[in-house]
Amino acid sequence: MLQGQQVALEGRGISTLNGRGMIDVDVHPVVPNMAALTPYMDEYWRDQVVERGINTIASQNYPPNAPKTARADWKQASKVGDLQAQLLDPWGVEMAICTPLYGTQMVMNADMARAFTRALNDWTRAEWLDRDSRLRASIVLPMHDTEHAVEEIERLAPDRRFVQAQVLVMGETPAGKRQHWPVYAACVKHGLPLAIHAGSCFRHPVTSVGWPSWYLEEYSAQAQGFQSTLGSLITEGVLSKFPELKIVLLESGVTWLMPFLYRLQKTWKGTRFEIPWVDRPPIELVRDQVRLSCQPFDAPPEVVPRVLDMLGSDDMLMWASDWPHWQYDGDQAIPPGMPASLLPKLLRGNALATYARLREGVAA
């Protein structure tokens, strides 16, 4: 086990830690096409898919052939065997949380989104969870109808292998808005963190000044989406109202966080009359309730110690491979510059502390 060990990591990849109980909080099973999901739909929706020629709803957030979408050696990512062969077995990962990104959350028709998202979650359960006991999964939520989202939590929460709920960072309305609160209440009721993953539902341009030309800009804009979303969760009072709720930011980058909060907290000192329910400094709320995956980290190695010093907490970062996205090469899955002293928490401890359901059946 990692606990208490000092692992010299200089110049070595994660495979040197093989078998030491790493928990990967962000792996992306890839749905190959709609035909893979139709077995999990009722007759009406199966018929709709066929009759309307809905062959794929792959997400524009990750254009299938773009370099970021899949590493050259991770192009096959639609079967559990791919994950086992490329990641779980060679790196000795103890548990991994599946976070599918197929475009079911983006569908405009709320009934269709509900049906497709149910199918996606059932596909994940049958074709991934049932086939490898190391896997856990996220309840992907059809967020454009709050009742549907709550219903999906209620439907799947009894299966303890679903360890969190999952939404995309850019939705139709900011995440903190009150109409979403029944979803957060359901998360709390079932002990599920809310995972917010990079990606847009494309209800709005990916920047507040319109549509950019280049995918590089679009991918960069995830960091702005996370800032706005976190700002919304704080100012609307979600963190204050649901102190037990953990928010997990996935594939968010890390380095934007504190500079954003430095401004928000300063503003709050002058405008807190507007949001009196925010009765603690925003940075404190975030340190208590917000966690982030560490891929990508978005900093050159030489500044990582200073960035971590600003973060001011060893409890917030969780390791993720982000399989099969291309964030690093080979097995360099720990951001260069991470101090070895942080590894026990980064690779395992923080995930166990964040996810009550991961702790079930795991030695402390």
Partner 1 sequence: MNVIQPIRGRSKPPAATLGLVDVDIHPRMKKPTDLNPWLSQRWRDHLATYGIRARHGFVGGQPPFPKAQPMACRRDAWPPGGGTPASDLDFLRFQLLDQYGMDIGVLNPLQPSGQGDNNNEFSAAMAFAVNEWQLAEWTRKEPRLRGSVVVPYDDGQASAREIEKRAGDPNFCQVLMMSRTAEPAGKSRYWPIYEAAEAAGLPVAFHAFGYSGWAMTNGGWPSFYTEEVSEHAISAQNQVVSLVVEGVFERFPKLKVVMIECGFAWVPNVAWRLDQHWTQLRGEVPHLKLKPSEYIKRNIWFSTQPMEDPERPEHILDLMEWIGWDKILFASDYPHWDFDDPLLALSGAISAEKRRDIYGGNAIKLYGL
Sites for partner 1 among residues 168-187 (CB under 8 A): 169-177
Q: To the nearest whole angstrom, how small is the minimum distance from the Cβ of residue 227 to partner 1?
A: 5
Q: Does 361 bind partner 1 (CB under 8 A)?
A: no
Considering only CA atoms, which of 141, 131, 163 is closest in space to residue 23? 163
Binding partner 1 by CB under 8 A: which of 47, 73, 154, 217?
217
Residue 132 found at the interface with partner 1 (CB under 8 A): no
Task: Tell me which of 12, 131, 189, 203 binds partner 1, using CB under 8 A.
Answer: 203
Q: Which is nearer to partner 1, 81 or 312 (CB)?
A: 312
Strands (E) located in 76-213? 93-98, 135-140, 162-170, 194-200
Structure tokens that stand for 186 in this block: 């359901």
Q: Nearest distance from residue 251's CB to partner 1, in Å?
A: 12
Nearest one of 197, 209, 150, 138 to 171, comparing CA atoms: 197
What is the pattern of x (binds partner 1, CB under 8 A) and - over residues 238-267? ---------------x-xx-xxx-xxxxxx
Show contacts with partner 1 in window 263-282 (CB under 8 A). Answer: 263-275
Q: How far is the CB of 229 from partner 1 (least distance, A)?
A: 6
Minimal distance, residue 68 CB to partner 1, in Å: 5
**DSSP letters along 91-113, please?**
HTEEEEEE----GGGG-SSHHHH
Interface with partner 1 in residues 32-71 (CB under 8 A): 66-68
Residues sharing a CB contact under 8 Å with residue 255, sequence separation 6 or more, in sequence order: 297, 298, 299, 307
Residue 29 per-residue DSSP state:
P
Closest contact distance (angstroms) between CB of 194 and partner 1 is: 15
Among 48, 78, 228, 332, interactor with partner 1 by CB under 8 A: 228
146 binds partner 1 (CB under 8 A): no
Shortest Cβ distance from residue 6 to partner 1 (Å)? 27
Largest CA distance in the chain: 59
Distances (CA, A) of 163 to 42, 88, 157: 26, 18, 8
Alpha-carbon distance values, 307 to 265, 281, 364 (Å): 18, 20, 29
> Residues touching partner 1: how many (CB under 8 A)?
72
**CA-CA distance, 92 to 94, in Å (whole number)?**
6
Q: Which of residues 285-324 bind partner 1 (CB under 8 A)?
A: 296, 298-300, 303, 306, 309-310, 312
Q: How far is the CB of 106 from partner 1 (least distance, A)?
A: 13
User: Which of 223, 247, 290, 334 contacts partner 1 by CB under 8 A?
Assistant: 223
What are the angstrom distances between the C-alpha of 170 and each of 22, 105, 134, 191?
A: 30, 11, 30, 24
What part of residues 74-113 is at the interface with partner 1 (CB under 8 A)?
none
Report the SS3 class of residue 357.
helix
Residue 332 interacts with partner 1 (CB under 8 A)?
no
